[in-house]
Copies of this chain bind each other. A is one copy, B any other.
Amino acid sequence: MINQSLLAKIHQKLPGFTANVNSASASIPIGVSNRHVHLSAGDIEALFGPGYQLTPFKELKQPGQYAAKECVMIVGPKGNITNVRVLGPARDKTQLEISKADCFVLGVKAPVRESGDLPDSADALLVGPAGHVHLKSQVICAQRHIHMNERDAQMLNVTNGQTVRVKTAGQRSLIFDEVVVRVKPSFALEFHIDTDEANAAGLKSNDSVFIVA
């Protein structure tokens, strides 16, 4: 049995202490991901024109990542969705991340996957002002995950790749199971969920959650 009050006092004396540090219940801010696409340099040119570069529009919480000014249209066999945000910078391979609700609109069966795990994922058509790109096995629903650096991981007593449970508060409170921990020196502490998950739990960006046993 851990004496939480004593633990809090000890944590307060550690270098780099921040409020509410507690190995059992440190608060983690939420980032709600709307549908978005990461584009390769080649696909940026195909969609927006030769030599085109993305225009950063808004910094994201993950260092170096940004929402670009540019948007595209997604087309599936059953429907289309306009004004889908492009995130930058360019990646090696284009990856479209949509919600299950979007899957029904588009008529696309995207599997729930970690970022980058694309084999046997779904297809779609991207349309930009200068052309279109056929995505083949490049469309997923992102598996909920927590970004963090090594120090956060130590504090929360978790390791890269581990799945944990995350508890939310409020009128639609729930416990998310199967939350993947992703540790990288460049990551900022943030629990990423999609719009379906945010709506189901009654959450918005910058609300807080806790890892539970």
User: Which residues on A are within 8 Å of B, measured CB to CB?
Assistant: 99-101, 112, 143-144, 171-178, 195-197, 199-202
Chain B residues with CB under 8 A of A101 = 101, 195-196, 199
26 A-B residue contacts at CB 8 Å?
Answer: A100-B199, A100-B200, A101-B195, A101-B196, A101-B199, A112-B171, A112-B172, A144-B172, A171-B178, A172-B178, A173-B177, A173-B178, A174-B174, A174-B175, A174-B176, A174-B177, A174-B178, A175-B175, A175-B177, A196-B196, A196-B199, A196-B200, A197-B200, A199-B200, A200-B200, A200-B201
A199 nearest CB across to chain B (Å): 4
Q: How far is the CA of A171 from the CA of B173 in the complex (A)?
A: 19
A5 nearest CB across to chain B (Å): 27
Chain B residues with CB under 8 A of A174 = 174-178
Q: How far is the CA of A202 from the CA of B142 in the complex (A)?
A: 12
A65 nearest CB across to chain B (Å): 24
A165 nearest CB across to chain B (Å): 8
Selected from B99, B100, B202, the residue in CB contact (under 8 A) with A100 is B202
Chain B residues with CB under 8 A of A177 = 173-175
Chain B residues with CB under 8 A of A199 = 99-101, 196, 200
Q: How far is the CA of A173 from the CA of B202 in the complex (A)?
A: 17
A171-B178, A196-B200 known, 14 other contacts, Cβ within 8 Å = A100-B200, A100-B202, A101-B195, A101-B199, A112-B171, A112-B172, A112-B202, A143-B171, A173-B177, A174-B176, A174-B178, A175-B175, A200-B200, A200-B201
